[in-house]
Structure 1
Amino acid sequence: MSDTSGWGPQGWGRHGGWTPPPPPPKPGVIPLAPLGVDHVLGGAFATMRRYAKPLFGTGAAAYGALAVVMAVAAALAYLSVREHVRAVSEPGSAFSWDHGMPVLVAFGALWLVGLLGTLAVNSFIQASCAATLHEAVLGRPATFAAVWRRAWSRTPSVMAVTALLSFILLLPLGACVLLVVGLFVMILSGWAVPLGMIFLLTLVVTPLAAWLYVLFAFAPAIASLETAGPLQALRRSVRLVRGAWWRTFGISLLAGVIVAVASMAVRLPLQFAMPDPPPVDPDSSTSTVLLDQLSSQVGLYALLGLVGTLITQLAASVFLPLVTAVLYIDRRIRKEGLAHTLAQAAPVQPYAP
């Protein structure tokens, strides 16, 4: 008597033919089973399409708030040092630290505000992507207000994760920069240093930085979806990526290539179609020349290029974190059996926007 145990009801059919197993449940944008590359990318695109309002609404609002903050900060920085700026920029004026130092300090503070603001906005968008995907995988609705509240509550933790990750990545890159500077100093001092060492060092540091980046890639999603602290999120990302580094790297790289191709598809036609700028009168003032350029077709194409760049930047800032978050869910499905938990949490009737 043959042993047919282990095949289950989806094994051999009543008439001896093989019956394929039933497909995994799919209450939302991805099937609740180990995912292929098509499911990872398709899940990110489906989330962008079905949940466009909470995703792009929160992203546009965050970037708009950053633009307002930067405009106010730039105006305050200029107003605080405008006399020094005029003294430095006057034709024929000699540079003086009495005027140059306040200008450097003011615009250095503006750069710091921009850096912190960009970090906060990017962290908020990553948290909002994870919050939206949490509902999209289960097939539940996600409103703008709900996504905003959940993302805002997890933004500090995601910011801390991003800052720690940036510091970790800067360690090998900073060491490379210091060594390169040291080599050039030795060369200028008359030491015989093979320049091939710089190339060799780049070959060592670049893969190290990529390895570290992929190793901690899931940390922002973990900090948002598991309400984990920064260090806990980094450690857990390492555990999840272990054994799937190349797969995570390859799919993330493919997502980056898709973003780069889409960006070029928007910008290159405008650049090739841009007409020649109008002639410039040498006797005209700078403001007159600038107004002539902006009022011509060059200004129109420049405006269209700016709008296209902003749209592609917003899409990229949403698409890439979504891909990483889907990969994170895939790893939990494969290593921790998350599919069963998700199937139990999903509603009986999936959400159909």
Structure 2
Amino acid sequence: MTDSPTWQSPGASAAPVPPSSESPWHAAQAAPAVAPPAVGWAPPPRPGLIPLRPLDFGTIFGTTFRVLRRNPRPVFGVAIGLTTLVAFIAGAVVTVVVLLGTDRIARAAPEDMEAIAIGTGAVVLISALLTAALTVVAGALLQGVIAIEVATASLGERLTFRQLWARGRGRWGALVGWSLLLSALLVVAIAILVGLVVLMVSIGDVGGIVAGVVVGVLGGLGMAVLASWLWIKLLFVPPALVLERRPLRESVGRSWRLIIGRFWRTFGIMLLLSVAIQTAASVVTAPFSLVSGFAGALVNPTGDLTADLSFLIGINLIAIALSAVVGAVGAVLLSGGATLLYVDARMRDEGLDLDLQRTVEARAAGASTDDPFLPARS
């Protein structure tokens, strides 16, 4: 007996036909086994502004600038409109008050000049406080608009300003009140520090002056550190107020809890954004400041008072417009960065990215869904 494939059993009438290379059986036996394609990792969907996953530093920093470009009309348009309005109102009010006060002092009797000067100073101070309050209100409204824009853009929506405003209806008052409260606390803290320094210096002796300088320097540094710490700890209060529609007290606690474990990361990103914005603003405004310093003598070499006044008004108008544009860009970037950090914190702590994915899929299928940013109902 042999193992040769040509061996035939006794009585076999014909030799077996060797399997053809064209035979399906042979092809199946001869063909190498092909493994099914491995199912690789697929990145989460990106229906709009951000990928629906926890965000790394590069994504947060880059997306902050995309907030300006994705929906510019209700974002940059509103920002520049608010900042320009506030800048022109502030400049006009202070200028009018100063001009009227200077004219009154010039026409007053010598014995009345001191009283008029004190009154003019008080009016200027009140005007400055009112314009500062107006700036705070405009900034608070812009924060809310940007927070809603970032949240809706993450789902692929592109809303008009009217739609963004309607989304925040009922929360604008709380947001403005929160911003005014913070500003008032800051003003009171600065006033107390300045009052202590003035009181110590007014004693007149060397010890009082030294103590006043020490208190001023150490108090200023301590206040800066405390303000920076509170800035980060309370950074998520506006998104919590507008997007989760929580009361003010709950929003403060909400921000405090979300920052736990990510304080330095949040501080670093916001500080880097602030430095980048300030650097860009300096680059834009520095040439204008240098030119305006000696342009008056070139434009008006004769020293004509009317020409000087016209040139001064024109320079101030250009400066206000330029500062409004730079301020609008900076406000949008900082508000957008804060909201992105808030969304990232909720993705990491609460699985918000999964809720956003489910919402996108359901809306693509034509189903109606609840707002995924609202707190879960118990």
* TM surpasses 0.5: yes
Q: In 1, distance between residues paired with 2:240 and 2:249?
A: 11
2:156 to 92, 115, 139: 139
Paired position in structure 2 for 1:206? 224
**Structure 1 position 87, deviation (Å):** 3.1
Q: Is the 8 A contact 1:187 1:193 kept in 2?
A: no
**Structure 1 position 332, deviation (Å):** 0.8
**Structure 1 position 117, deviation (Å):** 1.6
Q: Is the 8 A contact 2:105 2:113 kept in 1?
A: yes
Instruction: Kindly indicate whether residue 105 of structure 2 is the aligned counterpart of residue 88 of structure 1.
Output: yes
Paired position in structure 1 for 2:284? 266
Question: Which moved further from structure 2: 109-118 or 29-38?
Answer: 109-118
Q: In 2, distance between residues paired with 1:67 and 1:272?
A: 21
Q: In 1, distance between residues paired with 2:190 and 2:123?
A: 28
1:140-159 mapped onto 2 (5 Å cutoff): 140-151=157-168, 153-159=170-176
For structure 2, the 5+ residue unaligned runs are 1-33, 366-378
For structure 1, the 5+ residue unaligned runs are 1-13
Q: Is the 8 A contact 2:266 2:341 kept in 1?
A: yes
CA change 1:236–1:107 in 2 (3 A) is: same
**Structure 1 position 26, deviation (Å):** 1.5
CA change 1:53–1:340 in 2 (3 A) is: same
Q: In 2, distance between residues paired with 1:202 and 1:20?
A: 56
| Letter paired with 1:309 | S
Paired position in structure 2 for 1:289? 308
Paired position in structure 1 for 2:296? 277
Q: Is the 8 A contact 2:84 2:324 kept in 1?
A: no
Residues paired across the two proteins, number: 328
**Structure 1 position 124, deviation (Å):** 0.9
Q: In 2, distance between residues paired with 1:272 and 1:282?
A: 18
Paired position in structure 1 for 2:132? 115
Paired position in structure 2 for 1:33? 53
Paired position in structure 2 for 1:181? 198
| Letter paired with 2:323 | T
CA change 1:277–1:168 in 2 (3 A) is: closer
Identity %: 26
Instruction: Kindly indicate whether residue 142 of structure 2 is the aligned counterpart of residue 125 of structure 1.
Output: yes
**Structure 1 position 173, deviation (Å):** 4.5
TM-score w.r.t. the length of structure 1 is 0.77
Paired position in structure 2 for 1:11? none
| Letter paired with 1:315 | V
CA change 1:237–1:46 in 2 (3 A) is: same
**Structure 1 position 64, deviation (Å):** 4.9
| Letter paired with 1:21 | W
TM-score w.r.t. the length of structure 2 is 0.73
Q: In 2, distance between residues paired with 1:343 and 1:52?
A: 25
1:239-258 mapped onto 2 (5 Å cutoff): 239-258=257-276
Q: Is the 8 A contact 1:223 1:233 kept in 2?
A: yes
Instruction: Kindly indicate whether residue 354 of structure 2 is the aligned counterpart of residue 336 of structure 1.
Output: no
Please report the RMSD computed on the Cα atoms of aligned residues, expressed in angstroms: 3.7
CA change 1:18–1:243 in 2 (3 A) is: farther
**Structure 1 position 145, deviation (Å):** 1.5
